[in-house]
Structure 1
Amino acid sequence: MRLAIRDLSVGFAQPRGAPPREVLRRIDAELGPGEVLGIVGESGSGKSVLALAVIGLLPRTARARGRVEMDGTDLLPLGDGAMSRIRGRRIGMIFQEPMTALNPAMRVGAQIGEGLRLHRGMGRAEARAEALRLLDRVRIDRAAERLDAFPHELSGGQRQRVGIAIALAPEPELLIADEPTTALDVTVQAELLDILDELVSERALSLILVSHDLGVIARLAERCLVLWRGAAVETGPTARLLADPRHDHTRALIDALPRRTRATLPRSADG
């Protein structure tokens, strides 16, 4: 799988005939098999809009221009039917807030099994067995019991693990993780990042990791794209970008990290 984002801009329609409000401007990025691309920026910088444009889940009021090519096919002009065959099956997404992403009225096993039956043609019993295997894979304790739990019965970290299992179920080639560690404690964050790192290695999975936290990006991403006010202000290898930031906003994001985290980041040769 190769993803190429070319000159991507996204605007939102405004009332009373006003021109669209552009929230993403002329973004370029590339991603190959087994690669991790970090998208980083402050709240409102356009990170989630970029992720939603790639997977084709922009609101109806949004208009995207440019190209989002997956193995040479531009995804932007595709209709709902064509995108629904790509979304899930080839591109999976882990959403920022699992409590709103999960269906509160469905048991966990049924939610994982839905993708298995739709995209992989499994029967009910086979899908349940595979859902159990996926819960084990994302390190949910007492996985057999969790299959019949409702989302509200799980902790935040467990719900996020369920979200990862749902995204993995159709065996996608590209995974988009939108702020997957937000509001989780440091230990759970580290465990989830370890799981994502292992999955990239095991499956040659391509990963877009979206975060406001450069410390999170530094854990997994070989390359990084820094957004500010809807524009890409800096891009390049993560280690170089952290050791020698070229833009003031990148420096500000680094300075916003806790001192202990900053001490673990790569440093420039001159200190």
Structure 2
Amino acid sequence: MMLSVQDLRVSFAREYGDPVEVIHGISVDLEKGETLGIVGESGSGKSVLSLATMGLLPRTARASGKILLDGEDILTMSERQLCRVRGRKIGMIFQEPMTALNPSMRVGAQIAEGLRLNRALSRRDARAEALRLLEMVQIPRAAERIDSFPHEMSGGQRQRVGIAIALALEPELLIADEPTTALDVTVQAEVLGILDELVSELGISLVLISHDLGVIARIADRTLVMYRGDEMEQGETEQVLRRPSHEYTRKLISALPGRVRASLEMSDG
């Protein structure tokens, strides 16, 4: 088992009063080479779950339960241990690439930075590897764009740079937190296609977080539906979408565009 989350509970301290629990006993497993979709509206706890998995919860947060990565519990690791896990075992694609990227650094240098620090590559070798990663995520004219600043690239290109950075240290698990937010439909499809190809080609596991069931339906093998920190249901994506067992999931499906709903119904028939 690549990742096993067991009875995870996360609470946040308040200045006055008792802590507020925002994740209520979530359990979910992810096999190697599998894509897990986590879906729910804003405030459902999706991003908190991903931050807990990365060991990036703020100091005001308290987590209990277990988050086992290859059998090792993330929640019991020291910061030094977590630094060895982040990037090398778990890579993360953040929701908004414009704020995740350093605006004052060229994108090639941002990819190469982690390679030089963690793999002790020379400046020349790190640049060559950064170019290879840009080509892998299908940046047009990668040899020219490697020296671009983030503001000189489109939203879709910046997101691809974020994917390249997340893949630089060859992690076994990739977490993509709303990777298609604010992208138009065409670019959204391209980014999802890249993620799907990378999972197949590299044999990595992917956690895809979204508020959009249509996005999840495209590439997720299994789906976890969350609402206000609770699990509504989980299972094979095909089963969850075509034969949802919870009323909340049925409402999410009813909110899909008619064409998307129709395609699910046709597939079911």
Q: What interval of TM-score do these two structures reach, taking the shorter chain for normalisation?
A: over 0.9
| Residue identity (%) | 67
Aligned counterpart, 2:41: 42
Aligned counterpart, 1:160: 159
Instruction: Report the Cα distance in structure 1 between the residues aligned to 2:198 and 2:96, rounded to whole angstroms.
Output: 21
Unaligned runs of at least 5 residues, structure 1: none
1:217 is displaced (CA, Å) by 0.5
Aligned counterpart, 2:193: 194
- 2:100 is the counterpart of 1:101: yes
What RMSD over aligned residues (CA atoms) do the two structures have, in Å?
1.2
Instruction: Report the Cα distance in structure 2 between the residues aligned to 1:258 and 1:266, rounded to whole angstroms.
Output: 13
Question: What TM-score do the two structures reach when normalised by structure 1?
Answer: 0.97
Amino acid at match of 2:69: M
1:142-157 pair list within 5 angstroms: 142-157=141-156
Aligned counterpart, 1:13: 13
1:23-172 pair list within 5 angstroms: 23-172=22-171
**What is the DSSP-based 3-state SS (H/G/I as helix, E as strand, rest coil) of the residue aligned with 2:33?**
coil
Deviations 1:12-57 (A, max 9, x none): 11012x1111111100000111000000000110000001100111
**Residues 119 and 266 (structure 1 numbering): CA distance in 2 closer, same or farther, change over 3 Å?**
farther
Amino acid at match of 1:8: L
Amino acid at match of 1:211: S
Whether the 8 Å CA contact 1:6–1:29 is kept in 2: the answer is: yes
1:119 is displaced (CA, Å) by 2.4
1:109 is displaced (CA, Å) by 0.6
Instruction: Report the Cα distance in structure 2 between the residues aligned to 1:157 and 1:204, rounded to whole angstroms.
Output: 24
Question: What TM-score do the two structures reach when normalised by structure 2?
Answer: 0.97
Instruction: Report the Cα distance in structure 2 between the residues aligned to 1:28 and 1:118, rounded to whole angstroms.
Output: 35
1:264 is displaced (CA, Å) by 1.7
**Residues 195 and 7 (structure 1 numbering): CA distance in 2 closer, same or farther, change over 3 Å?**
same
Instruction: Report the Cα distance in structure 1 between the residues aligned to 2:38 and 2:29, rounded to whole angstroms.
Output: 12
Amino acid at match of 1:184: L
Instruction: Report the Cα distance in structure 1 between the residues aligned to 2:93 and 2:264, rounded to whole angstroms.
Output: 26
Whether the 8 Å CA contact 1:45–1:227 is kept in 2: the answer is: yes
Query: Number of residues paired by the alignment?
Result: 269
**What is the DSSP-based 3-state SS (H/G/I as helix, E as strand, rest coil) of the residue aligned with 2:132?**
helix
1:189-228 pair list within 5 angstroms: 189-228=188-227
Whether the 8 Å CA contact 1:41–1:212 is kept in 2: the answer is: yes
**What is the DSSP-based 3-state SS (H/G/I as helix, E as strand, rest coil) of the residue aligned with 2:209?**
strand
Instruction: Report the Cα distance in structure 2 between the residues aligned to 1:252 and 1:225, rounded to whole angstroms.
Output: 15
Amino acid at match of 1:100: T
